[in-house]
């Protein structure tokens, strides 16, 4: 056997898994089809929101808590700042998923939070212009993680513990064989006891069972010079998401490249991850500019940059983190439906657990392969 574990794909989930595996002393190799830090997948663009009060479903909260702890550990081990707490504002009409979901998760898990009406928002955050009746959940624990830095640090730690990392190495197939898995790449093959498939939007190429359950949503990130720069500094502007009249958009304070804002809804569908190209244009800018003119007029000055990216989504928008139903030596790490980055630090640990022992102490019962086919039900605690 060449390796105990081969990790396929070194984006958010793969780099974290490689790090955890290497730190446990396993013989590991990471295989990545592009170069380090590329912008062809789902983990580029300066910042990713992190929050505890999870509007998507309260059952994510324990995993989010662990993610915070693991990010702190990464910072301790490297001396770098990966996570910045700005607080997060989750804004919408009463009854909207974002406002109500965040409130429910916060109450259920006893998270520190406050509910702000429009008058209080005007007082605390006058840069916003919210329609009367909109409500906000404020969570001081929210903030952002720096994805390019975090991926790099996970990989550096992995290498420091003896992991091999191979770039420009596309995996063509994984084939169970005897006591291991044969991993065929464009430049040869290797054998590993187990594989972690963390190939992001390409995962369906290697795991055809998963393919019919995934869709790829084109997403565009925009950076602006703010009309009022002091209104978008990290000290003044928390991370926010607004469930508006016609769109759901989120934004980040200016941490160097400008004020960043994007829609959480798709800007088109991709047939395959290879179709993702840097093609953002005036229509993409206009969509975000219109949103900002309505809700955060202080922010939408001249455009500085745009980047395309894509979400890889399951129908229920929950993750898939599981052993392959036909071969438990294959560990599946789905790209997490557009909300996974914040969890990468703990998903890496979970993937390492699954590869090492076939189980994990973390509750991942919501993320089974079986539920995609209507089998079984998720029983994660609320």
Choose the binding region for ligand FAD from 12-20, 253-261, 297-305, 320-328 (rule: CB under 6 A): 12-20
Residue 11 per-residue DSSP state: S
Q: Which position has the token pair 């830095």?
A: 149
Interacting residues with ligand FAD between 200 and 219 (CB under 6 A): 200, 202, 206, 219
Find the residue with minimal CB distance to ligand FAD. Answer: 11
Q: Which of 89, 122, 133, 149 is nearest to 345 (CA)?
A: 149
The first and second tokens of residue 88, run together, are 């997060």
- Phi/psi of residue 247, nearest 5 degrees: -155, 160
Please state, in angstroms and rounded to a whole number, the distance separating the CA atoms of residues 226 and 260: 10
Q: Which of 6, 11, 111, 249 binds ligand FAD (CB under 6 A)?
A: 11
User: Smallest Cα–Cα separation from 142: which of 48, 75, 63, 15?
Assistant: 48
Give the span between the Cα atoms of 83 and 80, in whole angstroms: 9
The residue (of 299 and 351) whose beta carbon lies closer to ligand FAD is 351
Instruction: State the number of binding residues for ligand FAD (CB under 6 A).
Output: 37
Quick note: the x/- pattern for ligand FAD over 32-51, rule CB under 6 A, is xxx------xxx-x--xx--
Token readout for 310 is 């894509």
Contact pattern from residue 155 through residue 194 relative to ligand FAD, giving x for each residue in contact according to CB under 6 A and a dash for the rest = ---------------xx-----------------------
Evaluate the CA torsion angle 123, 128, 132, 134 in order and state its sign: negative
Q: What are phi and psi of 185, to 5 degrees?
A: -120, 170
Instruction: Report whether 162 contacts 311 (CB < 8 A).
Output: no
Q: Is 260 in the site for ligand FAD (CB under 6 A)?
A: no
Distances (CA, A) of 22 to 56, 82, 151, 155, 221: 32, 20, 15, 10, 33
> Within a 10 A sphere around the Cβ of 20, how many other Cβ atoms?
27
Closer residue to ligand FAD (CB): 116 or 241: 241
Instruction: Please identify, using beta-carbon distances, which residue of 53 and 338 lies nearer to ligand FAD.
Output: 338
In 3-state terms, what secondary structure has residue 225?
A: coil
Among 23, 125, 342, 371, binds ligand FAD (CB under 6 A): 342
Nearer Cβ to ligand FAD (193/204) = 204
The minimum distance between CB 312 and ligand FAD, in angstroms, equals: 7
296 touching ligand FAD, by CB under 6 A: no
Question: What distance in Å separates the CA atoms of residue 180 and residue 2, rounded to the nearest whole number?
Answer: 10
| Contact window for ligand FAD (CB under 6 A) among 134-142, 279-287, 306-314, 353-361 | 306-314
Residue 12 CB, nearest distance to ligand FAD (Å)? 3
Residue 20 lies near ligand FAD (rule: CB under 6 A): no
| Helix ranges, the chain (H) | 12-23, 61-78, 97-108, 118-124, 147-160, 203-206, 282-295, 344-357
Question: Rule CB under 6 A: is residue 221 a binding residue for ligand FAD?
Answer: yes
Q: How far is the CB of 133 from ligand FAD (least distance, A)?
A: 26
Residues that bind ligand FAD (CB under 6 A): 8-14, 31-34, 41-43, 45, 48-49, 170-171, 198-200, 202, 206, 219, 221, 262, 309-311, 335-336, 338-342
């Amino acid at each position: 056997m060449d390796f105990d574990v081969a990790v396929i794909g070194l984006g958010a989930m793969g780099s974290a898994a490689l790090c955890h595996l290497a730190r446990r002393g396993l013989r590991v190799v990471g295989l990545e089809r592009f170069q380090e830090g590329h912008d062809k997948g789902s983990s580029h663009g300066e910042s990713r929101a992190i929050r505890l009060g999870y509007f998507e479903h309260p059952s994510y909260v324990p995993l989010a808590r662990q993610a915070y702890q693991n990010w702190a550990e990464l910072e301790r081990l490297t001396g770098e700042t990966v996570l910045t707490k700005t607080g997060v504002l989750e804004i919408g009409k009463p009854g909207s998923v974002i406002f109500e979901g965040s409130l429910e998760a916060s109450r259920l898990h006893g998270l520190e939070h406050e509910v702000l009406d429009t008058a209080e928002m005007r007082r605390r955050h006058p840069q916003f212009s919210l329609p009367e009746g909109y409500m906000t959940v404020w969570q001081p624990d929210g903030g952002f993680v720096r994805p390019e830095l975090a991926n790099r640090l996970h990989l550096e730690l992995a290498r420091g513990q003896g992991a091999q990392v191979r770039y420009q190495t596309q995996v063509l197939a994984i084939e169970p064989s005897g006591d291991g898995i044969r991993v065929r790449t464009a430049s040869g093959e290797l054998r590993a006891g187990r594989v972690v498939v963390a190939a992001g939007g390409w995962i369906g190429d290697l795991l055809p069972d998963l393919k019919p359950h995934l869709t790829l949503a084109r997403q565009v990130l925009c950076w602006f010079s703010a009309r009022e720069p002091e209104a978008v500094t990290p000290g003044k502007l928390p991370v926010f998401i607004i469930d508006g009249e016609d769109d759901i958009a989120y934004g980040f304070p200016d941490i160097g490249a400008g004020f960043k804002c994007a829609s959480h809804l798709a800007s088109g569908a991709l047939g395959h991850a290879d179709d993702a190209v840097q093609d953002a244009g005036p229509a993409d800018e206009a969509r975000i500019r219109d949103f900002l003119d309505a809700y955060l007029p202080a922010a939408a000055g001249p455009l500085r940059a745009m980047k395309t990216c894509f979400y890889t989504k399951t129908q229920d928008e929950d993750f898939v983190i599981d052993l392959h139903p036909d071969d438990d030596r294959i560990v599946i790490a789905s790209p997490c439906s557009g909300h996974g980055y914040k969890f990468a630090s703990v998903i890496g640990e979970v993937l390492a657990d699954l590869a090492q022992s076939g189980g994990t102490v973390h509750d991942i019962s919501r993320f089974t392969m079986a539920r995609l086919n209507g089998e079984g039900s998720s029983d994660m605690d609320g």
